[in-house]
Amino acid sequence: MEDSGLLFLELGGVILLLALVARLAVRFSLSPIPLYLIAGLTLGEGGVIELVTSEDFVSIGADIGVILLLLMMGLEYTASELLSSLKTTATTGVLDFVLNYTPGFVLGLILGFGVIPSLFLGGVTYISSSGVAAKLLSDLEWMGNREAPMVLSLLVFEDLAMAVVLPILGGIALGGALSGILVSVPLALVVVALILVAAHRHGERLSELAFSSSDEVNLLTVLGITLIVSGLTERLHVSAAVGAFLVGISLSGQAAHRARELLTPLRDLFAGVFFVFFGLQTDPGALPGVALPVLALAVVTGFTKLYLARWAGKRQGISPRGSRRAGALLLARGEFSIVMAGLGIAAGAPPALAAVAAGYVLIMATAGPIAARLVRS
C-alpha cells in the first residue's frame, strides 16, 4: 500500500508538472515539447528530483505515447493523399532528405557513434515537426497563404519517407547479424507496402467497418486495433510506431474524424509522458559536452531548411517573403526527432545520442515558433 501511495504521488506530480509547462508554452506561444524535455531532465538521474517507483509506469506510458503520436499523424492523411504527394513533391522531397538527413548522419560519424547510430541521428535532423508547423499555420492564420500547400506537401512527403525509413532502420537495429538484416529489412518494406496498398484500395470500406454511432465503441475499436497492429509489426521487426502510422492512414472520412477527436486528449497525455521519459533517459551532465556540435548542427540544418523553402518557393512562383514564412514553419523539429532518437537508444546507440537529440530538439522546437513570429512582424 505504501508503494501504491508513492506511485500515485509521483504520477500526480509528473502530470501536474506537464500541466504547468504546457501552460507556460501557451503563455509564450511556444511548442511544449522542449519544456517537456526539460521537465524530464529535472526528474532523471542527475536531475533535481529522481523518480523512485513510477519510472516503469512512465516507460510503458512513453511507448503508448509513441504509438498514439504516429496514429494521430497517420489519421491526418489517406493513402491516396500520400501517394499523390509522393508524385507531386518527389523532387523537392528528395532534396529535403539529402540536405537535412546528411548533416545528422555526418555528425554522428564525426562524434564516433558508428554507422547505425548515425543513421538514427540523420533521422533526428531530417524531419520537421508537423505538429508545430500545423499549429503555427492555424495560430498565425497562414493556412490561406500560397506557401501553405507547399509546406503541407513537404510534411506529408517527410511522413511517408519516415514510414519507409523507420522499418529499414528497425530491421537493421533488430536484425543483428547480416542474415537477420537481409530477412528483416525486405520483410518490413513488404509489410508497409501491403498495408499502403490495402488502405489505398479498401480504406473507405475498412473505415465503415470501424465506425460506430457510439463514441465509446469507436475509441475502444481504434485503440485496440492500433495496439494489436503495433504489436504484430514489432514482432515482425517493423517498428510499432510504423504500425500505428499505417493504421491511421487506413482510416478515412467520418471514422478518421471521430478518431482524431476522441484520441487527441489521450495523445496529449501520453505524448507528454513520452517526452518526459526521453528526458529521464538523458544525463543532464552530458549536455554541456555536446553543446558545440549541437549548435553547429542547429545552424547547418536551419540554413538547409530555409534554403529548401526558398528553392521550392521559387519553383512554384511564391514570393521571397512567402518562402521565408515556409522556411520558418519547417525549422522546428519535435515529436518524430525524439521518436527516432529513442529508437536509436533502444537499438544500442551510445547515451551521447540522447544528449545530442535532446539539445538539438530543445533549440529547433523553440527556434521555429520564434522565427515564424519574427517573419510575420
Question: How remote is the C-alpha of 47 from its chain's centroid?
Answer: 25
Distance CA 37, CA 32 (A): 9
Q: pLDDT truncated to tens, each residue of the chain (377 aa)?
A: 457 777 788 788 888 988 998 899 888 877 888 888 888 888 766 656 666 666 677 778 888 888 888 788 778 777 666 666 666 788 899 999 999 999 999 999 999 998 888 999 999 999 898 778 877 887 788 878 888 888 878 887 887 777 677 767 766 665 554 445 555 566 666 766 776 676 667 666 767 776 777 888 888 888 998 999 888 877 766 667 777 887 887 887 777 888 888 888 888 888 888 888 888 878 888 899 999 999 999 999 999 999 999 999 998 899 999 999 999 999 999 888 888 888 888 777 888 999 999 999 999 988 998 898 888 76
* Distance in angstroms (rounded) separating the CA atoms of residues 126 and 87: 20
- Residue 4, classified by CB atoms within 10 Å of its CB into exposed (0-12), middle (13-18) or buried (19+), is exposed
| CATH code of the domain in which 12 resides | 1.20.1530.20
The contacts of residue 275 (CB under 8 Å, 6+ apart) are 33, 36, 37, 39, 40, 65, 338
pLDDT per position as a tens digit, 137-147: 877 888 788 88
User: Which pLDDT score is estimated for 1?
Assistant: 45
Look up residue 239 and give its three cell numbers: 517498428
**Model pLDDT, residue 108:** 95
Q: Inter-axis angle of helices 33-43 and 253-281, to 10 degrees?
A: 40
Report the C-alpha gap between 298 and 303 in whole angstroms.
8
Task: For 256-319, give the secondary structure using H, E and C.
Answer: HHHHHHHHHHHHHHHHHHHHHHHHHHCCHHHCHHHHHHHHHHHHHHHHHHHHHHHHHHHHCCCC
Whole-model pTM: value is 0.79
Q: Is residue 37 within 8 Å of 279, Cβ to Cβ?
A: yes
Task: Look at the chain and report how many structural domains it folds into.
Answer: 1
For 123, what's the count of Cα atoms within 13 Å in the CB-facing half-sphere? 28
Inter-residue contact 99 to 304 (CB < 8 Å): yes
Rounded distance, CA 372 to CA 135, Å?
Answer: 11
Residue 357 structural domain: 2-376
pLDDT in tens, 226-241: 999 888 877 766 667 7
The pLDDT value recorded for residue 294 is 96
* CA gap 26, 44 in Å, rounded: 25
- Contact (CB, 8 A) for 127 and 365: no
